[in-house]
Amino acid sequence: MGKSPISRITAQGKAELKKRKRPMGMRKRLAMDGSNEKTVPGPSTNPATNILIADIATRAGARLLRLGIEKNLLKTRYSKEERRAIMDERSLGETISSALIARIATRSLPGMLIVGGGLTAKALLDRSLSRRKALREGDKSLLDDKKKS
């Protein structure tokens, strides 16, 4: 069994503890002990680098997942060329607005409720329209954006 963290405090640290009138927390006691080197999990010994690597990997994975889902949603209705054109022709405004809406939805419960409610309302509106009319409107908006550029 190893020594407790308190028993590793140096003699100088113990003298300082006796001088104090208020008790000191465990973190401060361990900070007084210079030998409290802990290993950092991850590929680098720098924790900031590990967080950066994790952030980049998470964002890349989320982007690949999003692109895969978008392609599968368009797969049954459009040809490969049309899908590619629809995916490539998204404007900067559409990209920024979808990222902003996703951020609002993930940051707070009211944001999630507002965005989720709006998406539910849109889906119900599309269902209330006749199926053919909704398909025509969707085709028109997607294919018109492709023809504009």
Whether residue 81 is contained in a domain is answered as: no
What is the radius of gyration, based on Cα positions, of the chain?
28
Whether residue 5 is contained in a domain is answered as: yes
Whether residue 65 is contained in a domain is answered as: no
Question: Can you give the residue range of the structural domain that contains 8?
Answer: 1-38
Q: Report H helices in 8-149.
A: 11-19, 26-32, 47-75, 80-88, 92-107, 109-128, 131-148
Assess whether pLDDT exceeds 90 at residue 111.
yes
The set of residues, in sequence order, having a beta carbon less than 8 Å from that of 29 and lying 6+ positions away, is 5, 6, 9, 13, 17
Grade residue 77 by pLDDT with cuts at 50, 70 and 90: confident
Question: How many domains is the chain partitioned into structurally?
Answer: 2
Q: To 10 degrees, the CA torsion angle through 73, 78, 79, 81?
A: -80
Grade residue 4 by pLDDT with cuts at 50, 70 and 90: low
User: What is the per-residue pLDDT for 94?
Assistant: 87
Q: Supply the pTM of this predicted model.
A: 0.52
Assess whether pLDDT exceeds 90 at residue 113.
yes
- With both helix axes pointing from N to C terminus, report the angle between 109-128 and 92-107 in degrees, rounded to the nearest 10: 120
Whether residue 63 is contained in a domain is answered as: no
Stretch 120-137: mean pLDDT: 81
Whether residue 54 is contained in a domain is answered as: no
Whether residue 31 is contained in a domain is answered as: yes
User: What is the per-residue pLDDT for 106?
Assistant: 92
Is the distance from CB of 114 to CB of 104 less than 8 angstroms?
yes
Assess whether pLDDT exceeds 60 at residue 64.
yes
Whether residue 78 is contained in a domain is answered as: no
Whether residue 30 is contained in a domain is answered as: yes
